[in-house]
């Protein structure tokens, strides 16, 4: 799944990588403020209490993260913020991984809504400028 956001890749990455912002845009993942426990974040999610492990912050726009479900199953979620001529492109890889077609369709809808919320929040940040303004 991909979505172009009219803001710099740095702005998008910094906002999305700030785990304190997760409940604002990632409702499909975090319904509560993340609590740090060791190298993991613990949040209440639509799936129950889950543990999240993000890769370390990096200069490549990688936001990959593992979600440890209450069952102990681990879902790896590749996520990237890339430079795009119109700003930044957010790419999220969603895999069906044994779920029903109906559950997968629901997951697609939830992730798309999360990325839309991320775009809306970033668009409304006071310091966000359009890609065209960044090029001036």
Check residue 62 and report its DSSP letter.
Answer: B
Mean pLDDT value of segment 60-85: 96
Closest listed residue to residue 130, CA positions, set 90, 88, 89, 87? 87
CA–CA dist 5, 1 (Å, integer):
13
Contacts of 8 (CB under 8 A, 6+ apart): 87, 88, 129, 131, 134
81-133 pLDDT, tens digit each: 999 999 999 999 999 988 899 999 999 999 999 999 999 999 998 865 444 34
Q: What is the pTM of this model?
A: 0.87
- Count: domains in the chain: 1
Higher pLDDT, 125 or 11: 11
Q: Provide the domain limits for residue 112.
A: 2-135
Start-to-end CA distance of the chain, whole Å, equals: 30
34-45 pLDDT, tens digit each: 999 988 999 999
Long-range contacts, stretch 39-48, CB < 8 angstroms, 24+ apart: 40/68, 46/110
Mean pLDDT, the chain, integer: 90
Q: For the domain that residue 14 is a member of, what is the CATH number?
A: 3.30.530.20
């Amino acid at each position: 799944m991909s979505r172009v956001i009219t803001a710099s890749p740095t702005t998008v990455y910094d906002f999305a990588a700030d785990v304190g912002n997760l409940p604002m845009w990632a409702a499909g993942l975090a319904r509560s403020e993340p609590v740090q426990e060791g190298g993991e974040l613990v949040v209440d999610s639509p799936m129950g209490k889950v543990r999240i492990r993000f890769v370390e912050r990096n200069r490549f726009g990688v936001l990959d993260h593992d979600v440890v479900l209450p069952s102990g199953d681990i879902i790896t979620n590749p996520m990237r913020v890339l430079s795009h001529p119109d700003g930044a492109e957010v790419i999220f890889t969603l895999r069906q991984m044994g779920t029903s077609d109906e559950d997968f369709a629901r997951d697609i809808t939830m992730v798309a809504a999360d990325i839309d919320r991320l775009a809306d929040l970033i668009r409304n940040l006071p310091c966000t400028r359009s890609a065209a303004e960044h090029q001036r």
